[in-house]
Amino acid sequence: MAVVTPSTTKTLADWTPQEVAELARRLENDDYEHAFDALADWQVLKALQYRRPQLVDAYVHLLELEEDES
């Protein structure tokens, strides 16, 4: 699976622990100019959870969906 990032296209196998940590930091801090950028990072993290779970174990809380309170 290829993932499009701002500067490059990379496969899930190309992600390093440092890059995943930076992606998780952005998600945790909601550090985005556009909401769709956050969604793109979330989708990458979700894909990594299935393909390379060892990289995502520390950030799984970012993938949990909140229940709708309405």
Amino acid at 24: A
CA distance 70 to 62: 22
pLDDT in tens, the chain (70 residues): 455 455 457 899 999 999 999 999 999 999 899 989 999 999 999 999 999 999 999 999 999 876 655 5
3-state secondary structure of 52: coil
Q: What is the pTM of this model?
A: 0.79
